[in-house]
Structure formats: C-alpha cells, structure tokens
C-alpha cells in the first residue's frame, strides 16, 4: 500500500495550475475549475468524463494514458553544470565583468600584480556566493522524493499470450503499482496512514478523515465523503476531492484519479519552484550602482586619455594612465566588502537564532517595509487546544470536560487532534480518578452520516452510561433534554434554538464547536446505533489554535521599526479575524481568496495598500498579493513553513522559513528562523539594516573619494607638464584605501539609521557623490598648489616629489574622512568608529606616510618628503574634514538621513 515516511511534510497549499487538463483541453476563463466540475458530478458521470468504468484499467489503457498525460511525476529542474553556474554568476554582475576586463588590460600593460589582485577578488566573490547558495538547487529533488513507492490500484490483468479471447469479463485485481505509473482513470484504494498519490474524486468512503493542513493551513482533519458536492466554491472546499500531498488520518476510501503529475496541485508547486528567482532589491541596487560607476568611467576615462595625450604627446603613457584611472574609479573591493559584510552579518544573526542561506538576503531582510506572514504558528501556537468546556447556558462546566475525557479516552479508534486536546485539558488527578471510576463496555465508532461517536462506560456501582460527542446539529437531533445549573429540562424548540445560538456565538469567535450528550442506559449484551437517542445535552466543547503571548509586542515592535505586518493565510476568515482581535492586530480591511481572484492586477495593487489580512488564499493568490506590493514600491518579506508557501517564498524579496518547516520550504527560503517568532524577526531586521548600512558606507565613501580624485586628475592632466600620479601609484593608493575599509563590517550603525527600512536609493547616492566628491578635489588642488609653489615641484625633473606629495595626501584624506562620512552625527564626539576600523585606518595612514622613506619607495616612484610638508598636510586634512562635516550636515537637514 502507498505508505510513506515523510517527516518533512507539513503545509502544502493548493496552487491552481495555469492549465490543468482533465478530460477537455481548454476551457473558458469563466468556466469553473475542472476539479470543481468533478465534485459536482455524480459517480457515473465523473467516470464517464474520464472515459472509464471504475472497474480498473487494463495495460493498453494505461500505456495510452501515459503516452497522453505522461508519468505521475512532478516537474523536474534541469541542473546547470558547475562551469555554467559559475559563468552565469560571473556574467550577471557588471562589476565582476568590468574588473576582469581591467585586469586583462593591466596584465597586457605589464601590471601582473594589479591584474592578479583584481581577478582574485572576482573569483572569491563568485565562488563564495556559489557555495553559499548551492543547496537551494535541492528543493525540487526534495519535492519529487515525497511521491515515491507504490499505491494500491485496481487493474485488469492482461491475458496470456497463447490464450484465446476470454469468454467471461476480466476481473480487476488490487495490485501495488509504482506511483509514477498511475494515470487519470486509475482506481486506487486508501486507508489510514496513506498519502494521496494524485488528485482524485472519491467513489466510496468510510469514516474518512484527511489531513489537509498542508493545503489550507487549517490544523483540523477534514471529513471526506463520496457524494456529490455542489456547494464547494473551490476545489479545496470540496468534500469529495482529495489531493496529492495530503494524507489519510483515519478511515478508508476508494477514488478515481482525475489529475496526475504536473497537472496536480502538488505538481504545479514543483513547477513554480523551477526557474530563476525574482531579482531582489539588493541585486537590483548593486547593479544600478555598478552601472552608475560605469557611466562615470565612460565620461572620465576617455577625457583623461585625450587630455594627457594632447598635452604631453605620449599616447601610450596616456593610455596606461587612463587604465589606472579606470581602476581607480572602479570600486574593485565592492564584491569582497559586500561578501565580508554579509558573512559577518550572517554570523551575528546566527547568534540570534536566524540562519542565513543566501547572503544577499541579509540586506533585503533589513530593507523590508512589509512583512507578509501566515497565521498558523506565527500569530498562533500551531496546535489545537480545548479552550472552553461550557454548559448549554454558556457557563464553564467541569462535568462537560469529564464526560468528554471519558469519551476520548475510551474510544479505541485513531485519536484525532480534538481527542488529544480533550485528553490534555484534564489534569493528572482528574484523569486518574475517572479511570478508576469508569471502565469501557462498548463503543459506537464515528461515521460521516451520523457525525458523532459514542462510548458506553460502567461506573463502580454497575450503572451504564452512553456518552456521545459530535456535530451540534446531529447531537441536538438525538437529545430530548438538556442539563443546566438548575437541573434537567425538556429540550423544547426554544431551548434548542438558544443552544444553537450559544454554539453559533462560539463559531463566530473562531472556535470549532462540538456538542456533548449523555444518557444512562440499561446494561445489555450489545449496543447499537438505535441506543443513540433520548440523550441529555450537557454542553459544548470549543477548540482553538491559541494566539502566542508575544505576538502583540512583536507586531508593535515591527511597526515601530517601519515594518507593516500583513497576514496571508489559507485559513478561513472567521478564525483569522478572531485571532487578530485576540492579539490586538487592527484589521481595517479584509480580503478573501475569491475576491482577489476577481480583481485585476491594478485593482489588487490598490487594494493591497490598505488591507491587513488576506484569508482563504491559495499559493497563486499569495504570490499575486506579493507582486501587487512590489508594484507599489514595497520591499516584501514572506514568512512561511509549508510546501504551499514555496512560490511565495521565491516571489518575495526575502523568503523566511523556520527549522520546523517542511524541507521544501526551507530549501526555497533565503533565511531560516530557529524559532517561529515575530520577535526573532525584529532582531533579524535590525541586523539586516546594520549590514546594509555598513555596505552603503563603503559605497558612498569610495565612490565620492574616487569621483573627487578623478576631478583632480582631469585638472592636473590639463595643466601639469607631467602625470599628477604614476599609474602604479594610483593602483597602490586604491588598494591601500580599500584594505583600510575591510573592517567596515565591524562598525556600529547609528540608532536613528536603524529605525526605518533602508533601500537602495541611487538618487541619494549620486547626490552624495556629487556633493562630497568635489570637496576632496578642492583640497587636492590645495595640495597641488603647496607642492608647486611652496616646494617648487613644478618641472618634470621634480615630478616624483609632486606625485609623492599628492599620493600621501590623497591616501590619508580619504582614509580619515571615513570617520566623518560613516555617521550622521558629530564624529569622534557623538559617534566613534569601531576599534577594528580605527586600527586599520591608522595602520594604512602609517603605511602611506612611511612608504616614501622605505626601501620600497623607488619601486613605486616615491621620494622623501620635506618636513614642512607634514604641517601643510595637517592643515589641509583638518580643513577638509571640517568642510565635509559642514556640507554633510546641510545635506541631512535638507534631505534627511544620508
């Protein structure tokens, strides 16, 4: 029989496939879903629709259907080879491509060291990202491994080769069939513990309960039956349909397969996990910044080349100088700096029970301004508890709990979640007392037509009691009296109406309600269903998936940090409203799946702005909501733990799952929480903002510094009779500065910066570069003047002194200005850099200052600087930092946080 060990099967949600052909190839947009059509057909017409008789298929029919529909396997993703994967990662990052081109040019220009450094940085960034993300390719393999082994199907055996045409009809037999060989029209047999091998229409069912929580998010088992269901609004609501990926809790059934393989809901999920991920805000931001720098280069580099060639006449030297300028404009350490920051952030988040699978997701984590999350397990505890046990008048009644405990304890069938909740509600002393006072005599098992189950117990005095619990309407139908605080009374029409009102109020509050009745019955040899009559209605049992205590504080903390929380759940709207009310989550607007289905993309974009809760969603609808939020300019995080959440996890900027989630969800996610808690999420969001803040520091500091240097280069090239800095000096300057910034990952970030989501803002970066960059040029020109007029480095024979003086000033100024640019506060007074960043900065300044006096000076074209140079340099640096602080403050007053 089809029995699987699936420790990671949790929530699978129904994805409505774009084209699920069952019988007919096409259908109009307004036509009902094919599975709904099967739910509304009687058995004979359903079988006829499939072209089968329900007795079983023969080999010829099976082969023909496999030829038409394919094998019953979910979609398979074609894996890229290692070489192709590396090539794709390299080619899709413009900075990597640019650095490689410049490395080749440098190598051709006899600068092997510079070429090697740039290539090493490219390779390290590419390979680190590859090994960090290689596990995500296993997602579809995990999904496929869930549907393996065999199922019990009814098949007609083929006649022997030498046998003449049989005189009697061939009788179908039950045989074990490999799952992949099942086809539409196959009749399969199910029993407790079986997984559903494909989407099917029930032909017969006995006491069948199916765990569909993976499809809908509801914790309760779903009752299934074989009759016509004309009321279902969607396939998942149909009582006579079962779906691949769900499993049988109790009972048995026979069903005919109506969809297999990729045409099933489950198969459509595998298909949705195939293909490239949606490009995230971080990926887009890095690319936009890279192209910004390329545009700067496209203007600056040719200009430098032409000016130097015309002024000095040495076109080869001008070309090599222009290449050095291109390298100077390129933030060649960006891939490494980003990787270092993200890796450090990943380690810091791991200490907060947040595991990062895709490094780029860390920044997205900090940038999200909308968090979409499921209800079950996030707002609630993801378990069923008996919340209330009340009498018919609505007051708590211990007798109701004790009779319910006896019923659940002594029933010998498979105990469902409600029974477990009842047994857990009684304390140990009560349970021990009841076991000592009552013994089991007989039971009347649950069946769908009665919608109740009963046990007969005997107390110490020998009296027999029939205790029944079940659906409210059915229990009222077999009760003739009711019990309340004043004693027993006849169950009149008015009393029955009042009892229904009590149950209805509980339902409206999101509880699942069952009724409990008791009857003292005379002892006899055997009991029958006829004995379930004349009961006294004792009261009601109300079950709930309770809210978490920490949810209200967590939502408030996320809101305070600029993150709006939206609920996306497959559960029904009544339960969801109740849970939101209990945790203090204000719901001004509520949308359900059918309403979303009827909306255009534009209508949904507008509706999603002000809607806090989306209920009764299938996975495609979850994706549509996320895409609508994207269109509205939001960075969206999605927290989900089921197979049904796979598409939404990939569609979001950052997919978040938990370690208790199904493997397919964990593989599709970018970030995994060791605790499914919104409070943990808040800590992760702040860490993500810190990581992004430090990455942005490097980008702004490097881009503005390089931009300013290039202005200086252009001016100097036009007026100096020699190169303002040798190409090798430009490369060394750039390398030393970048090394000083490797510790930026350890730096602290201002609290006010962490208070709001942070996203890539190319306009802000460009504005910063254009305003701060030229300031460095002002003091570069001041240095030029000092070297030219004070130290008389104004002829080609004194070029090395000029170049040395500007090299030291350029290196020290851009290394020290980091302390001003890194914070929105007053540097050194209200905000200090981390110890690591301070130490590396001081170390690089010392290296730059000592190089002209070292044995390496001649190799790089340096000469010792006069003593008075250091006094002039001190004045220039102090003035530079003061002016930059002034301009930064004015920018912040006008445009806000930089």
Separation CA 50–CA 682 (nearest Å): 52
More confident residue, 642 or 259: 259
User: Degrees (nearest 5) of the Cα angle 502, 503, 508?
Assistant: 100
The answer on pLDDT for 681 being more than 60 is yes
Separation CA 390–CA 254 (nearest Å): 39
- 529 token code pair: 């269903």
Q: What is the pLDDT of residues 559-592, one digit of tens each?
A: 889 999 999 987 777 778 888 887 878 888 889 9
When pLDDT is cut at 50, 70 and 90, the band that residue 618 belongs to is: confident
Residue 270's pLDDT is 62
Q: Which residue has the tokens 């130490």?
A: 839
Residue 116's pLDDT is 76
Residue 779's pLDDT is 94
Run of H or E including 338: helix 334-350
The answer on pLDDT for 159 being more than 80 is no
Rounded to the nearest 10 degrees, the angle between the axes of helix 112-133 and helix 94-108 is 150
Mean per-residue pLDDT, 441-470 = 89
Q: Count the residues in the chain.
A: 898
Residue 539's pLDDT is 94
Mean per-residue pLDDT, 386-395 = 91
Maximum C-alpha span of the chain = 122
Instruction: Name the residue among 304, 153, 349 with its Cα closest to residue 724.
Output: 304
The answer on pLDDT for 729 being more than 80 is yes
Mean per-residue pLDDT, 213-235 = 77
Task: With beta carbons less than 8 A apart as the criterion, state whether 188 and 255 touch.
Answer: yes
User: Degrees (nearest 5) of the Cα angle 422, 252, 35?
Assistant: 100
Task: With beta carbons less than 8 A apart as the criterion, state whether 370 and 634 touch.
Answer: yes
Separation CA 598–CA 315 (nearest Å): 67
Task: With beta carbons less than 8 A apart as the criterion, state whether 312 and 318 touch.
Answer: yes
Q: How many CB atoms lie within 10 A of CB 84?
A: 10
Task: With beta carbons less than 8 A apart as the criterion, state whether 352 and 327 touch.
Answer: no
Mean per-residue pLDDT, 192-213 = 84
Separation CA 706–CA 772 (nearest Å): 11
When pLDDT is cut at 50, 70 and 90, the band that residue 237 belongs to is: confident
Question: Which stretch, 508-512, 766-770, 814-818, has highest mean pLDDT?
Answer: 814-818
Separation CA 828–CA 822 (nearest Å): 11
Rounded to the nearest 10 degrees, the angle between the axes of helix 727-740 and helix 112-133 is 30
- The values of phi and psi at residue 527, to 5°, are -115, 150
Residue 790's pLDDT is 95
Q: Could you list the beta-strand ranges (E) of 345-414.
A: 354-356, 370-373, 385-391
* 3 state DSSP class of 453: strand
Separation CA 632–CA 302 (nearest Å): 40
Residue-wise DSSP of 115-137: HHHHHHHHHHHHHHHHHHHGGGG
The answer on pLDDT for 15 being more than 60 is no
Torsion angle defined by CA atoms of residues 631, 633, 635 and 636, in that order, rounded to the nearest 10 degrees? -40
Report how far apart the first and last C-alpha atoms of the chain are (Å, whole number). Answer: 64
Residues 6+ apart with CB under 8 A from 400: 389, 390, 391, 516, 538, 539, 540, 541
Residue-wise DSSP of 609-675: HH--EEES--HHHHHHHHHHHHHTT--EEEE--SGGGHHHHHHSSEEEEETTS-HHHHHH-SEEESS
- The values of phi and psi at residue 478, to 5°, are -110, 10
Residue 325's pLDDT is 74
Q: What is the pLDDT of residues 311-355, one digit of tens each?
A: 777 787 778 777 777 776 777 667 777 777 877 887 788 787 788
More confident residue, 642 or 868: 868
Residue 119's pLDDT is 79
Separation CA 637–CA 374 (nearest Å): 12
The Cβ-side half-sphere exposure at 583, using a 13 Å CA radius, reads: 27
Separation CA 635–CA 631 (nearest Å): 10
Instruction: Name the residue among 655, 650, 578 with its Cα closest to residue 613.
Output: 578
* 3 state DSSP class of 176: strand
Separation CA 325–CA 776 (nearest Å): 16
Run of H or E including 776: helix 762-785
Mean per-residue pLDDT, 818-825 = 90
Separation CA 324–CA 408 (nearest Å): 81
Residues 6+ apart with CB under 8 A from 166: 159
Chain-centre distance for alpha carbon 325 = 42
How far from 159 is each of 61, 67, 167, 182, 327, CA to CA, in Å? 14, 22, 12, 21, 78
Phi-psi region of 711 (alpha: psi -120 to 50; beta: other; left: phi over 0): alpha
* 3 state DSSP class of 277: coil
Overall pTM > 0.75: no
User: How many percent of the chain have pLDDT more than 70?
Assistant: 85
Question: Which stretch, 354-358, 597-601, 708-712, has highest mean pLDDT?
Answer: 597-601
Phi-psi region of 313 (alpha: psi -120 to 50; beta: other; left: phi over 0): left
Residue 137's pLDDT is 41
Q: What is the pLDDT of residues 778-799, one digit of tens each?
A: 999 999 999 999 999 988 889 9
When pLDDT is cut at 50, 70 and 90, the band that residue 133 belongs to is: low
When pLDDT is cut at 50, 70 and 90, the band that residue 277 belongs to is: low
Residue 674's pLDDT is 78
Q: Which residues are known catalytic residues?
A: 374
User: How many percent of the chain have pLDDT more than 90?
Assistant: 32
When pLDDT is cut at 50, 70 and 90, the band that residue 27 belongs to is: very low
Task: With beta carbons less than 8 A apart as the criterion, state whether 589 and 567 touch.
Answer: no
Instruction: Name the residue among 766, 616, 735, 744 with its Cα closest to residue 690.
Output: 744
Separation CA 616–CA 591 (nearest Å): 9
Mean per-residue pLDDT, 647-668 = 76
Question: Which stretch, 121-130, 365-374, 761-770, has highest mean pLDDT?
Answer: 365-374
The answer on pLDDT for 514 being more than 80 is yes
Instruction: Name the residue among 757, 678, 7 with its Cα closest to residue 353.
Output: 678
Q: What is the pLDDT of residues 457-510, one digit of tens each?
A: 999 999 999 999 998 989 999 999 999 877 888 999 999 999 999 998 888 777
Residue 21's pLDDT is 38
Residue 79's pLDDT is 64
The answer on pLDDT for 727 being more than 80 is no
Chain-centre distance for alpha carbon 272 = 14
Residue 3's pLDDT is 36
When pLDDT is cut at 50, 70 and 90, the band that residue 167 belongs to is: low
Q: How many CB atoms lie within 10 A of CB 792?
A: 11
Q: Which of 326-335, 649-658, 693-702, 732-741 has the lowest mean pLDDT?
A: 326-335
Q: What is the pLDDT of residues 75-114, one digit of tens each?
A: 655 667 778 878 877 777 777 787 788 788 778 777 676 6
- The values of phi and psi at residue 309, to 5°, are -65, -45
Residue 99's pLDDT is 76
Separation CA 392–CA 400 (nearest Å): 10
Torsion angle defined by CA atoms of residues 385, 389, 394 and 399, in that order, rounded to the nearest 10 degrees? 180
How far from 156 is each of 61, 171, 175, 893, CA to CA, in Å? 10, 6, 9, 82
Separation CA 136–CA 120 (nearest Å): 26
When pLDDT is cut at 50, 70 and 90, the band that residue 848 belongs to is: very high
- 465 token code pair: 């009691």
Burial of 316 (0-12, 13-18, 19+ CB in 10 A): exposed
Burial of 502 (0-12, 13-18, 19+ CB in 10 A): buried
- The values of phi and psi at residue 279, to 5°, are -65, 125
């Amino acid at each position: 029989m089809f029995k699987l060990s699936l420790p990671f099967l949790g929530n699978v949600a129904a994805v409505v496939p774009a084209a699920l052909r069952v019988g007919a190839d096409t259908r109009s947009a307004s036509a009902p879903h094919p599975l709904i059509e099967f739910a509304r057909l009687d058995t004979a017409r359903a079988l006829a629709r499939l072209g089968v008789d329900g007795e079983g298929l023969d080999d010829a029919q099976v082969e023909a259907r496999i030829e038409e529909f394919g094998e019953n396997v979910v979609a398979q993703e074609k894996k890229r080879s290692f070489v192709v994967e590396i090539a794709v990662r390299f080619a899709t990052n413009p900075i990597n491509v640019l650095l490689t081109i410049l490395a080749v040019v440098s190598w051709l220009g006899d600068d092997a060291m510079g070429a090697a450094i740039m290539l090493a940085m490219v390779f390290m960034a590419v390979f680190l990202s590859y090994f960090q993300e290689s596990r995500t390719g296993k997602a579809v393999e995990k999904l496929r491994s869930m549907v393996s082994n065999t199922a019990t199907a009814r098949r007609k055996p083929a006649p022997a080769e030498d046998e003449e045409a049989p005189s009697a009809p061939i009788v179908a037999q039950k045989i074990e069939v490999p799952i992949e060989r099942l086809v539409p029209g196959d009749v399969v047999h199910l029993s407790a513990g079986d997984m559903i091998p494909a989407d099917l229409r029930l032909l017969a069912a006995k006491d069948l309960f199916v765990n569909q929580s993976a499809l809908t998010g509801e914790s309760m088992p779903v009752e299934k039956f074989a009759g016509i269901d004309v009321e279902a609004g969607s396939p998942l609501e149909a009582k006579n349909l079962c779906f691949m990926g769900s499993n049988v809790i109790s009972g048995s059934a026979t069903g005919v397969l109506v969809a297999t393989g990729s045409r099933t809901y489950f198969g459509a999920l595998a298909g949705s996990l195939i293909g490239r991920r949606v490009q995230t805000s971080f990926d887009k931001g890095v690319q936009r910044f890279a192209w910004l720098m390329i545009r700067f280069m496209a203007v600056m580099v040719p200009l430098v080349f032409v000016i130097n060639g015309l002024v000095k006449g040495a076109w080869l030297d001008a070309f090599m100088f222009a290449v050095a300028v291109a390298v100077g404009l390129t933030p060649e350490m960006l891939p490494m700096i980003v990787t270092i920051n993200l890796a450090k952030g990943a380690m810091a988040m791991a200490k907060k029970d947040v595991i990062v699978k895709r490094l780029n997701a860390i920044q997205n984590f900090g940038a999200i301004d909308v968090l979409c999350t499921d209800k079950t397990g996030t707002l609630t505890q993801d378990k069923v508890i008996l919340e209330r046990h009340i009498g018919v008048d609505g007051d708590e009644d211990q007798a109701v709990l004790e009779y319910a405990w006896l019923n659940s304890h002594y029933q010998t069938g498979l105990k469902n979640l409600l029974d477990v909740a009842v047994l857990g509600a009684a304390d140990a002393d009560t349970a021990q007392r009841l076991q000592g006072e009552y013994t089991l005599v007989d039971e009347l098992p649950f069946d769908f037509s009665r919608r109740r189950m009963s046990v007969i117990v005997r107390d110490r005095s020998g009296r027999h009691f029939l205790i029944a619990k079940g659906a409210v309407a059915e229990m009222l139908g077999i009760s003739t009296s009711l019990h309340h605080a004043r004693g027993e009374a006849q169950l009149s029409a008015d009393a029955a109406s009042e009892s229904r009102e009590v149950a209805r109020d509980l339902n409206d509050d999101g509880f699942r309600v069952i009724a409990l009745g008791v009857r003292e019955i005379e002892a006899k040899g055997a009991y029958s269903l006829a004995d379930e009559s004349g009961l006294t209605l004792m009261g009601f049992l109300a079950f709930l998936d309770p809210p978490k205590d920490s949810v209200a504080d967590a939502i408030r903390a996320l809101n305070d940090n600029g993150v709006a929380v939206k609920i996306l759940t497959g559960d029904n709207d009544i339960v969801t409203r109740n849970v939101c009310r209990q945790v203090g989550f204000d719901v001004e607007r509520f949308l359900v799946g059918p309403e979303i289905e009827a909306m255009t993309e534009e209508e949904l974009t507008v509706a999603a702005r002000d809607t806090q809760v989306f209920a009764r969603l299938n996975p495609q609808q979850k994706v549509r909501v996320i895409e609508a939020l994207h269109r509205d300019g939001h960075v969206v995080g999605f927290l989900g733990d089921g197979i049904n959440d796979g598409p939404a996890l990939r569609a979001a900027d950052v997919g978040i799952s938990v370690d208790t989630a199904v493997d397919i969800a964990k593989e599709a996610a970018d970030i995994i929480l060791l605790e499914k808690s919104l409070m943990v999420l808040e800590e992760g969001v702040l860490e993500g903002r810190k990581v992004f803040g430090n990455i942005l520091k490097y980008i702004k500091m490097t881009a503005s510094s390089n931009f300013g240097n290039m202005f200086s280069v252009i001016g100097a090239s036009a007026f100096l009779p020699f190169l303002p800095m040798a190409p090798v000096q430009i490369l060394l300057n750039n390398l030393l500065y970048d090394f000083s910034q490797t510790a930026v990952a350890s730096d602290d970030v201002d609290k006010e910066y962490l208070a709001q989501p942070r996203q890539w803002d190319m306009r802000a970066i460009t504005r910063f570069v254009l305003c701060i960059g030229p300031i460095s040029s002002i003091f570069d020109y001041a240095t030029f003047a000092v070297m030219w007029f004070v130290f008389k480095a104004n002829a080609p024979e004194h070029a090395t002194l000029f170049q040395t003086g500007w090299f030291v000033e350029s290196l020290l100024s851009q290394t020290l200005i980091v302390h001003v640019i890194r914070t929105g506060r007053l540097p050194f007074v209200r905000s200090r850099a981390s110890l690591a960043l301070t130490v590396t900065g001081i170390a690089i300044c010392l290296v730059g200052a000592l190089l002209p006096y070292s044995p390496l000076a001649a190799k790089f074209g340096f000469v010792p600087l006069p003593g008075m140079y250091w006094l002039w340099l001190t004045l220039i640096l102090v003035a530079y930092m003061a002016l930059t602080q002034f301009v930064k403050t004015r920018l912040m007053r006008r445009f806000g946080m930089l």
